[in-house]
Chain A
């Protein structure tokens, strides 16, 4: 349960971090360490070089830029949980964070680390999928913007090149007054979800849905947008029947089976949790559905 030896680097400048990552063989980035360090302790991961991003203050913070909430990759989950900007502009993120691990792990864990780790049952990738986030990938070659729908490429695999690191995440801001809902099922508070759902609804004064996203997670190798559900909702009046029909579309996902739950059970959960998330989103958008 002790990690293999490695060389430790703690760059103070972002460009130094990018340069180290490009140059050093068998190197890994250390963000909050709440997933990587257990894997190193188990020696699932053995590195020659560990580049600690913890001293890079320029990767920390939240700001509104061009209609999006820009979050530095090294912003701690606990700081996002209580950020007034997050609560105002991206309340779905604030709600999801309460399900991310435990207080002790949120104190250390970062948003960028969670995305780079890309656990299929993790909450933060699901939130990024729901908002159509953009990931800023930084390397010595510059910044590359990756649409989140192209970010997760498989089970715990991302579109990041070996020399790229996440510098920031842009979450497009929805109209003030939109509704959000987030539900997951796990055996214990703080565990990874067996399945979960995140919903965003923008409903006009005429009760017609202007925009809707429904995301399920824990059921596939990456968070999944239920496009059939979104198509059923968008441009139509929001009522109980519409929500029921949209949630039923989550039934179509083909879930994974593992030691925690079978695929059929996950499919059932995806549907039930989608309905709850959509109901919460509708209520918060001012619709009694």
Chain B
């Protein structure tokens, strides 16, 4: 019942599948494409672990059916940097103890990637407000907020001095 042909561009690569209409985008990414970097915590839109970018905007992938993403461009945590490398934000998470168990981290990274793209010089309040949709049960958020502010500064410096890392 309810099989649908669906094509989704994930991290720049087009994927066509015939899938159940009830398959969430999160399960599509994890089970059909084996992109298990997107984590599923609550499966009802509260924890934010499954956050991905859909056409450049964050969305909870547990609250979207994959068929809704037909024709859309999706970015997951695997798409933040080339294989074997880390984005500036990912490196800042390591440097600032922005993660412990790592379960919430993919969602945190996607939410903050959108924030830093749209708000290059966020205040601590901006960061904390952006993070209200993502739960972390290890860090107490302090390291995550520090990582976001650190990454924002590094990204601004990189813009100011083109060519530097």
Residue A11 interfacial (CB < 8 Å):
no
Q: Which residues of A contact B64 (CB under 8 A)?
A: 33, 37, 108
Q: How far is the CA of A54 from the CA of B155 in the complex (A)?
A: 35
Q: How far is the CA of A174 from the CA of B104 in the complex (A)?
A: 44
Are A8 and B111 in contact, with the CB atoms below 8 A? no
Are B132 and A190 in contact, with the CB atoms below 8 A? yes
Residue A13 interfacial (CB < 8 Å):
no
Q: Which B residues between 9 and 53 are near A, CB-CB below 8 angstroms?
A: 20-22, 24, 27, 43-45, 48, 51
Are B2 and A104 in contact, with the CB atoms below 8 A? no
Q: How far is the CA of A63 from the CA of B20 in the complex (A)?
A: 38
Q: Which residues of B contact A6 (CB under 8 A)?
A: 1-2, 21-22
Q: How far is the CA of A107 from the CA of B56 in the complex (A)?
A: 10
Q: How far is the CB of A81 from chain B (nearest CB, A)?
A: 12
Q: Which residues of A contact B2 (CB under 8 A)?
A: 5-8
Q: How far is the CA of A15 from the CA of B10 in the complex (A)?
A: 32
Residue B143 interfacial (CB < 8 Å):
no
Task: Known A33-B63, A38-B63, A190-B132; judge A104-B22 contact (CB<8 A).
Answer: no
Q: Which residues of B contact A101 (CB under 8 A)?
A: 133
Residue B89 interfacial (CB < 8 Å):
no
Are B111 and A104 in contact, with the CB atoms below 8 A? yes
Task: Known A5-B1, A38-B45, A103-B111; judge A190-B21 contact (CB<8 A).
Answer: no
Chain B 109-137: CB-based contact to A (< 8 A → 1; otherwise 0) = 00100110000000000000110110000
Are B4 and A8 in contact, with the CB atoms below 8 A? yes
Residue B99 interfacial (CB < 8 Å):
no
Are A41 and B132 in contact, with the CB atoms below 8 A? no
Q: Which residues of A contact B1 (CB under 8 A)?
A: 5-7
Q: How many residues of A contact B (CB 8 A)?
A: 31
Are A107 and B58 in contact, with the CB atoms below 8 A? yes
Q: How many residues of B contact A (CB 8 A)?
A: 32
Are B20 and A5 in contact, with the CB atoms below 8 A? yes
Task: Known A102-B133, A103-B130, A190-B132; judge A37-B57 contact (CB<8 A).
Answer: no
Task: Known A34-B45, A38-B45; judge A104-B4 contact (CB<8 A).
Answer: no
- What's the A-B contact tally at a CB cutoff of 8 Å? 92
Are B45 and A105 in contact, with the CB atoms below 8 A? yes
Q: How far is the CA of A33 from the CA of B133 in the complex (A)?
A: 16
Residue in B59, B67, B111, B114 whose beta carbon sits within 8 Å of that of A108 in the complex: B59
Q: How far is the CB of A109 from chain B (nearest CB, A)?
A: 9
Q: How far is the CB of A286 from chain B (nearest CB, A)?
A: 28
Q: Sorted from nearest, which 3 A-B pairs have the closest CB atoms?
A: A102-B133, A8-B21, A1-B43
Residue pairs across A and B with Cβ atoms less than 8 A apart, 30 shown, are A1-B43, A1-B44, A2-B43, A5-B2, A5-B21, A5-B22, A6-B1, A7-B1, A8-B4, A8-B21, A30-B68, A34-B45, A37-B45, A37-B62, A37-B65, A38-B44, A40-B22, A52-B67, A101-B133, A102-B48, A103-B58, A103-B133, A104-B60, A104-B133, A107-B58, A108-B54, A108-B63, A108-B64, A188-B132, A190-B133
New A-B pairs, 16, CB < 8 Å, besides A102-B132, A189-B129:
A2-B43, A8-B65, A10-B67, A33-B63, A34-B63, A38-B44, A38-B63, A42-B44, A50-B21, A103-B111, A103-B115, A105-B60, A105-B133, A107-B58, A108-B60, A190-B133
> Chain A interface (Cβ within 8 Å of chain B)?
1-8, 10, 30, 33-34, 37-38, 40-42, 50, 52, 54, 78, 101-105, 107-108, 188-190
> Chain B interface (Cβ within 8 Å of chain A)?
1-2, 4, 20-22, 24, 27, 43-45, 48, 51, 54, 57-60, 62-65, 67-68, 70, 111, 114-115, 129-130, 132-133
